[in-house]
């Protein structure tokens, strides 16, 4: 018997192995393709009150940040909570063999793709709005709302009963589920805490498709986990939000400081005051702005027009304290006296006192006015490389010296908010991550980039500035925490959560063990195994 030469045997074996490999690979590819293309059919077969859209999915791959785009395979427009539960349960049942993930999309006002799902399913939470909004009066009034409800609509509905939520964001065209997944902070937070401190009960659909009602007393681990939980443990389908009697009007005041430490001392004095001072306390940094006070005149009146007209902002870095006092029409005289009294205790530049009187709705919906204006100029849908930081009180001066005195001396490319809040108003059992100290500041760099600019108003330049700020915080050990956090590695997430990371991971394995939910946060990745 003649044996083929060894080299020929090797060659034919290699060919055989190669053919097998090719066959195997093409089978796998076909299988994956089949699996993938069969997804719409399995989803289409689900019994729903609402519907899936497999074609118009591009909108779900966009957000306010305008920098990240991940196309989903389908968008669910749910009409009921059971639509959401059925879809999640279906994907849970598919197990780790399916790569499908699910992102709830509130109003898509995330900055880095947090409400997107690459080749997954996006749930358009706003479809769930409507029939659920119910206001309950009594000693502790509240409103039950859908997770996809916009805060502006909650305001209008609760005002019909003379009531309103206690804690807000600066901009109200955001959804309940979206802000409760972060924290929800504005100038009322020093007194009432963030929005996550003003919720009594939630209804949540977990990553296994279970519908769970939770509160401080019932399923409290899920309740605390979901609040500030970046969408990781469940989808909020209903929230019970605390209300208070709504005022009629608002006295809205701005004053300027040229010295940061005087500004910060006054802000801290106001938020720590034993008696109620203002109802809203914020502030912002003004860098190198010309004709600043003239611009304010369209909506604010100077207390002393002559002195105010002589004030020059050009080339300077200034700090603006912004406060507001709510009142009912019959209280106007008392309120004016109170304001005079509070203001007399502050050390602002006297010629820069500006006042305005607006309705409560005008005050709360103030950012929407800017939105309409920016949209009309095509300046709303531009890249927004925002950076939001929580900074401990003991380090805010170091931060201000370096960032406003050095890194951002020339221009800011958008508003920079800066105001302190009291940690005692935050519930440390929630998932929100904040600094250790009793008082910490929110500093929000709300930048807009000019598309395709390579100058100081371009995206690259702003991102480099953000990086410089973060590097300074790191090297100076400021104990800073990111708000609306964004990281690319799990190591960074672990560092962000610090000692709370273990609880976060434990909650993930309890409520979303396959890591199906909110993939756009990039904290956990769904582990996919081949069958
Ligand atoms: P989305 O961007 O759609 O979702 C955000 C995250 O929450 C995603 O991970 C998403 O999957 C998840 N999610 C959405 N809905 C649900 C749900 N029902 N259940 C569970 N998870 C869900 N924040 C403040 O705190 N204070 C402010 O003053 C403030 N002002 C802002 C002003 C503007 C102009 C913008 C654009 C944002 C502002 N934000 C502010 C940030 C805002 O709170 C977050 O961007 C928030 O995520 C946006 O809400 P959204 O409804 O669009 O959520």
How high is the pLDDT of residue 294?
74
103 lines ligand 1 (CB under 6 A): yes
The answer for residues whose C-beta is within 8 angstroms of residue 80's C-beta and 6 or more apart is 49, 50, 128
Atom index in ligand 1 nearest the CA of residue 63 equals 2
By percentage, how much of the chain surpasses pLDDT 90? Answer: 83
- Would the CA dihedral through 389, 393, 398, 403 be positive or negative? positive
Q: Which of 433, 383, 391 is nearest to 182 (CA)?
A: 433
Q: What letter would DSSP give residue 432?
A: -
Measure 184 CA to ligand 1 centroid, in angstroms.
Answer: 8
CA distance 471 to 191: 32
456 three-state secondary structure = coil
Catalytic annotation, pick one of 63, 203, 266, 282: 282
Active-site residue, 322 included: no
175 lines ligand 1 (CB under 6 A): yes
Estimate to the nearest angstrom the gap between the alpha carbon of 474 and the chain centroid. 23
Atom index in ligand 1 nearest the CA of residue 176 equals 51
CA distance 440 to 499: 19
Catalytic annotation, pick one of 99, 118, 144, 170: 170
178 lines ligand 1 (CB under 6 A): yes
Mutate to test the pocket of ligand 1, among 115, 232, 484, 515 (most ligand atoms within 8 A of CB): 115
231 lines ligand 1 (CB under 6 A): yes
Token pair for residue 454?
């390579």
Measure 186 CA to ligand 1 centroid, in angstroms.
Answer: 13
CA distance 234 to 104: 9
> In Å, how far are 35, 52, 336, 382, 460 from 344, measured between CA atoms?
70, 60, 12, 42, 44
521 lines ligand 1 (CB under 6 A): yes
Nearest CA to ligand 1 atom 33: 171
Q: Is the pTM of this model over 0.85?
A: yes
Q: Which of 241, 236, 238 is nearest to 205 (CA)?
A: 236
In the chain, the N- to C-terminal Cα span, in Å, equals 44
By percentage, how much of the chain surpasses pLDDT 70? Answer: 92
- Would the CA dihedral through 207, 213, 217, 223 be positive or negative? positive
Q: Which residues pair with 235 in a beta bridge?
A: 205
183 lines ligand 1 (CB under 6 A): yes
Which regions in the chain score pLDDT beneath 70? 1-38, 129-132, 274, 530-531
Beta-carbon-side half-sphere exposure of residue 332 (alpha carbons within 13 Å) = 6
The answer for residues whose C-beta is within 8 angstroms of residue 305's C-beta and 6 or more apart is none
Measure 77 CA to ligand 1 centroid, in angstroms.
Answer: 19
134-154 pLDDT, tens digit per residue, is: 999 999 999 999 999 999 999
39-67 pLDDT, tens digit per residue, is: 777 999 999 999 999 999 999 999 999 99
- Residue at token pair 């006297």: 350
Are 126 and 146 spatial neighbours (Cβ–Cβ below 8 Å)? no
How high is the pLDDT of residue 316?
86
Catalytic annotation, pick one of 63, 83, 109, 338: 109
523 lines ligand 1 (CB under 6 A): no
Are 155 and 173 spatial neighbours (Cβ–Cβ below 8 Å)? no
Are 398 and 260 spatial neighbours (Cβ–Cβ below 8 Å)? no
Active-site residue, 210 included: no
How high is the pLDDT of residue 21?
44
Measure 84 CA to ligand 1 centroid, in angstroms.
Answer: 19
Token pair for residue 387?
């950076």
> In Å, how far are 24, 56, 59, 114 from 16, measured between CA atoms?
12, 45, 48, 47
The kind and range of the H/E element at 319 are strand 317-327
> In Å, how far are 112, 238, 426 from 516, measured between CA atoms?
18, 20, 28
CA distance 410 to 422: 32
How high is the pLDDT of residue 129?
66
């Amino acid at each position: 018997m003649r044996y083929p030469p060894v080299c020929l045997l090797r060659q034919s074996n290699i060919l055989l192995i190669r053919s097998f490999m090719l066959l195997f690979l093409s089978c796998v590819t076909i299988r994956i393709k089949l699996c993938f293309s069969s997804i719409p059919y399995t989803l289409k077969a689900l019994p729903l009150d609402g519907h899936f859209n497999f074609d118009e999915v591009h909108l779900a791959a966009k957000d306010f940040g305008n920098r990240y785009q991940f196309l989903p395979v389908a968008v669910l427009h749910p009409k009921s909570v059971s639509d959401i539960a059925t879809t999640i349960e279906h994907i849970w049942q598919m197990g780790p063999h399916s790569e499908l993930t699910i992102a709830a999309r509130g109003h898509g006002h995330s900055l880095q793709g947090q409400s997107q799902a690459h080749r997954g399913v996006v749930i358009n939470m706003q479809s769930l709005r409507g029939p659920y909004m119910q206001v309950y009066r009594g000693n502790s009034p509240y409103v039950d709302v859908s997770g996809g409800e916009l805060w502006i609509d909650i305001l209008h509905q609760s005002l019909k009963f003379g009531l309103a939520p206690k804690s807000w964001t600066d901009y109200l065209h955001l959804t309940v589920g979206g802000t409760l997944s972060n924290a929800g902070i504005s100038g009322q937070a020093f007194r009432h805490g963030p929005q996550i401190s003003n919720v009594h009960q939630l209804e949540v659909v977990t990553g296994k498709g279970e519908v769970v009602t939770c509160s401080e007393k019932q399923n409290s681990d899920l309740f605390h986990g979901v609040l500030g939980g970046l969408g990781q443990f469940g989808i909020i389908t209903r929230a019970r939000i605390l209300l208070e009697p709504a005022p009629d009007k608002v006295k809205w005041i701005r004053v300027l400081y040229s010295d940061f430490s005087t500004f910060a001392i006054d802000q801290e004095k106001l938020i720590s005051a034993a008696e109620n001072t203002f109802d809203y306390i914020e502030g912002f940094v003004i860098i190198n702005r010309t004709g600043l006070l003239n611009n304010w005149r369209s909506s604010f009146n100077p207390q002393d027009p002559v002195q105010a007209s002589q004030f020059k902002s050009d080339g300077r870095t200034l700090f603006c304290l912004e406060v507001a006092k709510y009142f009912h029409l019959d209280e106007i005289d008392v309120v004016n006296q109170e304001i005079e009294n509070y203001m007399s205790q502050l050390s602002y530049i006297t010629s820069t006192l500006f006042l305005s009187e607006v309705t409560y709705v005008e005050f709360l919906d103030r950012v929407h006015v800017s939105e309409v204006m920016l949209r009309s100029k095509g300046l709303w849908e531009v890249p927004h490389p925002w950076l939001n930081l929580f900074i401990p009180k003991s380090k805010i001066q170091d931060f201000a010296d370096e960032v406003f005195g050095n890194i951002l001396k020339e221009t800011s490319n958008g508003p920079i908010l800066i105001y302190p809040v009291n940690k005692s108003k935050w519930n440390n059992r929630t998932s929100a991550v904040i600094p250790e100290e009793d008082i910490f500041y929110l500093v929000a760099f709300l930048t807009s980039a000019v598309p395709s600019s390579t100058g100081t108003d371009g995206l690259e330049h702003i991102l480099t500035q953000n990086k410089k700020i973060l590097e300074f915080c790191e090297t100076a050990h400021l104990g800073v925490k990111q708000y609306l956090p964004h990281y690319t590695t799990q190591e960074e997430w672990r560092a962000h959560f610090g000692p709370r990371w273990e609880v976060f991971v434990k909650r993930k394995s309890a409520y979303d063990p396959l890591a199906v939910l909110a993939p756009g946060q990039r904290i956990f990745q769904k582990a996919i195994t081949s069958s």
